[in-house]
């Protein structure tokens, strides 16, 4: 076994060239070793929902073969479980497989916010909400790292689209970054200290993430106290010298000798401080040292147990969107036809670097038939949308099969090429040939259950009335087929909830008009109104709201209470399983600030808990919210601010199904800023010192009558300097300058 080396002793004996070489990979997947100093190379590899360890033909697009590994549900599915404990267990299993394959770091999770349903990589991301993405991201990192291997939290930051991802500049205002795009990363970094953070390809406000000092050093290190290593996304570094200076430690993959030589030259000519290089080299050495015990250990993993876990997780992440008349679960006595190519050719993961070579694969049709029923099948359509004549013949067959059955389960979804890393989705809806088949079968048999397989929201508005039941399974991993059989047959009860809103139309979505950008720039014009924050604040109708999901049982909420103590708010609610089977409810706590000096979303999720209850069982759940949960990022003060006064705490089963609401009075902080000559009269009056000073200084001329309402409103908006320049008696620039000085002195 390789001796774990002493990082400081090794660093002290390295030459400048060796230190420079440590700051990039030695090949596609390995760090650089220094044989002379006893430093081995270690392997890092994708991620996020399974291990993609390539034995040969390395690439980052999922082309080359990789060793068999469990393909767990993608983040879209896993996240929809809202189950911290389950996600931690999946993380532990991922960690075991990583370790068993002698890999040091699994490249995941991805916690970028789903800004638009069209992002090609949404299946790899958790949510449109930062609390959900951050909590579940923390759980998976904790799980993986508990096994002595590392993670890579990615893609930091504002990588919310695939179009032009390697060059585009995400133009995002400071408040929106702080409230929407950074907090999931912050939660995971502060809560779980991932071994590495992966910087994104794109620019953030004009500067490549890989060269962004504000992002990689001021935010990540100085504010969040990140202790690990910053690795680049594969090919995201264009100039290693400024990247090192900004806070990048490791460029991946190997980039040839030139960047190393440039680093050496920059240190020699004094343009890069050697101490900066030492910091990066030390972090690489530390990563290697901490991973050696796991990499060197001789261990394996239990393929069957991991498959079972993948099945449990896929079921927990499936969302029952509708179930009119209790069509589901199916009863063993009814004859059930299975329609749709996806039933025998499942879609279970997306394309690109996250593609896992699964240890096995369950198709829904096989899993259903394994329970003993006949389950007659018709493909109904081709996934790729074949020539019209072929699809018409498949449709005709499907209608015949559907007509003879009591109930029909139609497996629909997005074709594989619709969802991939590297480009965005071409459409929000399902392909026309699938919808045509659904229409035709619904005409002969109204008892239709639609099972969806897609990695990101699809529009359902045009066809949902044709199906009394819809089960969204996302891309559920290798055991998704058996999980869906469990759910359809009632072996398990659905308990997933939407982590992203399902909109009616692409035109309704927040980024519409500002996506995917133009001329190398994408402007996040919707600001903080992302996901349900947008739909709820604008009171728009949606197909299914954030947080929504049905069960085979029902839940009652009672005794919703909230009390404030300073800026801490204690929230409690009692949840009761009011139906006849066991099930799990996801209790969601939203905060609303009805009056604020900035636009705040109508409601924002701040806490949640998944509670499993037997029929008739009740449980009290409690949450503690802190100042940060009530605050917004003040764009002028550049910090978090709690504005005192009324806050409404809403507890419910989705952002549109609120079961209890309590107002609390919160002690906030005074919000006056420093007064200047350009502060408005309104700002002066709101200031406890400056207000009275200005009041007594503004003496209206004796012949002036009282100001009417319009005049008053106009004056309130005017900077004090403009009034002073108008030259009122006793109030000129000198007098104003004196007031500014007095107000500053308090
Ligand atoms: C992806 C990363 C991935 C890396 C290595 C990149 O193209 O954006 O998520 O970890 O390749 O495969």
pLDDT digits (tens, 9 = 90+) for 451-473: 999 999 999 999 999 999 999 99
Distance CA 418, CA 66 (A): 23
Per-residue pLDDT tens for 699-732? 777 777 888 899 889 999 999 999 999 877 678 8
Distance CA 615, CA 331 (A): 20
Q: What is the pLDDT of residue 729?
A: 64
* Positions of CATH 2.60.40.10 in the chain: 555-666
* Positions of CATH 3.40.50.1700 in the chain: 306-537
Whether omega for the bond prior to residue 47 falls within 30 degrees of 0, making it cis, is yes
Q: Which of ligand 1's atoms lies nearest the C-alpha of 124? A: 9
| Pocket lining for ligand 1, CB < 6 angstroms | 46-47, 60, 107, 154, 233-234, 353
Neighbours of 343 (CB within 10 A): 27
Q: At residue 62, does pLDDT exceed 80?
A: no
Within 13 Å of residue 161, how many CA atoms lie on the same side as its CB? 27
What φ, ψ does residue 462 adopt, rounded to 5°? -70, -20
Nearest CA to ligand 1 atom 3: 353
- For residue 233, the CA-to-ligand 1 centroid distance in Å is 6
How much is the mean pLDDT over the chain? 95
Within 13 Å of residue 178, how many CA atoms lie on the same side as its CB? 17
Q: Are 42 and 11 in contact (CB under 8 A)?
A: no
Neighbour-count burial for 507-539, b at 16+ CB within 10 Å, e otherwise: ebbbbbebbbbeeeebbbbbbbbbbbbbbbbee
Q: Which of ligand 1's atoms lies nearest the C-alpha of 165? A: 8
What φ, ψ does residue 231 adopt, rounded to 5°? -110, 150
Per-residue pLDDT tens for 188-220? 999 999 999 999 999 999 999 999 999 999 999
Q: Are 620 and 586 in contact (CB under 8 A)?
A: no
> Does the predicted TM-score (pTM) go above 0.75?
yes
Q: Which of ligand 1's atoms lies nearest the C-alpha of 52? A: 12
Per-residue pLDDT tens for 313-348? 999 999 999 999 999 999 977 899 999 999 999 999
Q: Which of ligand 1's atoms lies nearest the C-alpha of 422? A: 7
Q: At residue 60, does pLDDT exceed 70?
A: no
Across the range 294-312, mean pLDDT stands at 96
For 178, 213, 631, 634, 688, the CA distances from 672, given in Å and listed in that order, are 21, 30, 16, 12, 8
Q: Which of 164, 233, 249, 486 is catalytic?
A: 233
* Whole-number percent of the chain with pLDDT over 90: 91
- For residue 653, the CA-to-ligand 1 centroid distance in Å is 35
Neighbour-count burial for 96-107, b at 16+ CB within 10 Å, e otherwise: bbbbbbbbbbbb
Distance CA 428, CA 416 (A): 14
Distance CA 719, CA 682 (A): 9
Residue to substitute in 31, 45, 46 for testing ligand 1 pocket (most ligand atoms within 8 angstroms of CB): 46
Is 555-666 assigned to CATH 3.40.50.300? no
Q: What is the pLDDT of residue 57?
A: 66
- For residue 235, the CA-to-ligand 1 centroid distance in Å is 9
Q: What is the pLDDT of residue 56?
A: 67
Q: Which of ligand 1's atoms lies nearest the C-alpha of 159? A: 8
Q: Give the pairing type, strands 169-171 and 150-156.
A: unpaired
Q: At residue 49, does pLDDT exceed 70?
A: yes
Task: List the structure tokens of 22.
Answer: 């440590």
- For residue 115, the CA-to-ligand 1 centroid distance in Å is 20
- For residue 574, the CA-to-ligand 1 centroid distance in Å is 44
Instruction: Confirm whether 508 is a catalytic residue.
Output: no
- For residue 313, the CA-to-ligand 1 centroid distance in Å is 24
Per-residue pLDDT tens for 609-636? 999 999 999 999 999 999 999 999 999 8
Q: What is the pLDDT of residue 422?
A: 96
Task: List the structure tokens of 425.
Answer: 């989705």
What's the CATH number of domain 306-537, 3.40.50.1700, 3.40.1350.10, 3.90.228.20, 3.40.50.10860? 3.40.50.1700
For 322, 361, 368, 488, 491, the CA distances from 485, given in Å and listed in that order, are 17, 14, 5, 5, 8
Per-residue pLDDT tens for 137-169? 999 999 999 999 999 999 999 999 999 999 999
* Whole-number percent of the chain with pLDDT over 70: 98
DSSP at 297:
S
Nearest CA to ligand 1 atom 5: 60
3-state helix, strand and coil shares in percent for the chain, rounded to the nearest 5: 35, 20, 45
Q: What is the pLDDT of residue 674?
A: 87
Nearest CA to ligand 1 atom 8: 233
Q: Which of 489, 651, 653, 485 is nearest to 584 (CA)?
A: 653
């Amino acid at each position: 076994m390789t001796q774990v080396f002493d990082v400081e002793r090794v660093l002290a004996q390295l030459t400048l060239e060796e230190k420079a070489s440590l700051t990039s990979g030695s090949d596609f997947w390995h760090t650089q070793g220094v044989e002379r100093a006893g430093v081995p190379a270690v392997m890092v590899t994708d991620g996020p929902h399974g291990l993609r360890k390539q034995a040969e033909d390395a690439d980052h697009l999922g082309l080359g073969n990789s060793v068999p590994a469990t393909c767990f549900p993608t983040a879209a599915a896993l996240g929809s479980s809202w189950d911290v404990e389950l996600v931690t267990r999946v993380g532990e299993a991922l960690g075991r497989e990583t370790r068993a394959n002698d890999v040091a770091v699994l490249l995941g999770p991805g916690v970028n916010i789903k800004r638009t349903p069209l992002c090609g990589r949404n299946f790899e991301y958790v949510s449109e909400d930062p609390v959900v993405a951050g909590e579940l991201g923390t759980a998976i990192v904790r799980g993986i790292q508990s096994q002595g291997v590392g993670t890579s939290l990615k893609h930091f930051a504002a990588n919310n689209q695939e179009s032009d991802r390697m060059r585009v500049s995400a133009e995002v205002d400071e408040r929106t970054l702080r409230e929407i795009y950074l907090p999931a990363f912050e939660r995971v970094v502060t809560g779980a200290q991932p071994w590495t953070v992966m910087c994104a390809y794109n620019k953030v406000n004009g500067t490549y993430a890989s060269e962004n000092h504000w992002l990689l050093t001021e935010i990540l290190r100085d504010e969040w106290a990140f202790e690990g290593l910053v690795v680049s996304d594969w090919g995201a570094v264009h100039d290693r010298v400024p990247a090192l200076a900004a806070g990048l430690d490791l460029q991946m993959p190997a980039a040839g000798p030139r960047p190393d030589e440039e680093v050496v030259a920059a240190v020699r000519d004094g343009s890069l401080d050697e101490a900066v290089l030492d910091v990066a080299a030390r972090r690489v050495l530390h990563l290697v040292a901490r991973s050696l015990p796991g990499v060197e250990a001789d261990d394996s993993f239990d393929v069957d147990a991991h498959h079972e876990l993948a099945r449990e997780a896929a079921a927990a992440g499936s969302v029952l969107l509708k179930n009119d008349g209790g069509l589901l679960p199916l009863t063993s006595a009814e004859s059930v036809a299975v329609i749709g190519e996806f039933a025998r050719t499942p879609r279970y993961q997306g394309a690109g670097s996250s593609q896992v070579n699964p240890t096995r694969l369950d198709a829904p049709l096989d899993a259903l038939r394994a329970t003993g029923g006949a389950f007659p099948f018709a493909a109904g359509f081709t996934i790729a949308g074949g020539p019209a004549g072929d699809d018409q013949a498949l449709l005709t067959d499907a209608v015949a099969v559907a007509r003879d059955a009591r109930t029909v389960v139609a497996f629909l979804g997005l074709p594989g090429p619709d969802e991939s890393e590297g480009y965005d989705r071409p459409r929000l809806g399902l392909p026309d040939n699938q919808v045509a088949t659904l229409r035709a079968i619904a005409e002969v048999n109204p008892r239709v259950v639609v099972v969806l397989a897609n990695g990101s929201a699809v529009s359902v508005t045009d066809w949902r009335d044709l199906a009394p039941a819809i089960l969204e399974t996302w891309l559920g991993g290798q055991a998704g087929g058996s999980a869906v059989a469990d759910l359809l047959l009632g072996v398990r009860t659905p308990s997933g909830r939407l982590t992203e809103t399902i909109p009616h139309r692409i035109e309704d979505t927040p980024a519409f008009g500002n996506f995917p950008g133009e001329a190398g720039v994408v402007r996040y014009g919707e600001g903080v109104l992302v996901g349900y924050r947008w739909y709820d604040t604008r009171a728009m109708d949606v197909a299914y709201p954030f947080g929504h999901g049905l069960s085979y049982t029902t839940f009652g909420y009672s005794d919703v209470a909230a009390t404030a103590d300073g800026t801490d708010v204690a929230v409690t609610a009692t949840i009761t399983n009011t139906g006849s089977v066991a099930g799990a409810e996801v209790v969601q706590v939203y905060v609303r600030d009805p009056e604020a000096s900035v636009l705040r979303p109508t409601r924002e999720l701040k806490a949640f808990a998944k509670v499993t209850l037997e029929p008739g069982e009740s449980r009290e759940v409690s949450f503690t919210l802190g100042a940060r949960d009530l605050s917004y990022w003040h764009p002028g003060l550049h910090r978090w601010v709690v504005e005192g006064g009324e806050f409404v705490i809403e507890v419910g089963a989705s952002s549109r199904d609120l079961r209890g609401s309590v107002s609390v009075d919160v002690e906030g902080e005074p919000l006056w800023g420093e007064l200047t000559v350009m502060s408005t009269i309104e700002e002066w009056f709101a200031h406890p010192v400056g207000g009275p000073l200005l009041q007594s200084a503004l003496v209206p001329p004796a012949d002036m009558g009282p100001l009417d309402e319009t005049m008053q409103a106009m004056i309130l908006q005017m900077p004090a300097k403009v009034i002073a320049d108008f030259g009122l008696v006793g109030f000129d620039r000198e007098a104003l300058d004196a007031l500014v000085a007095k107000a500053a002195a308090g």
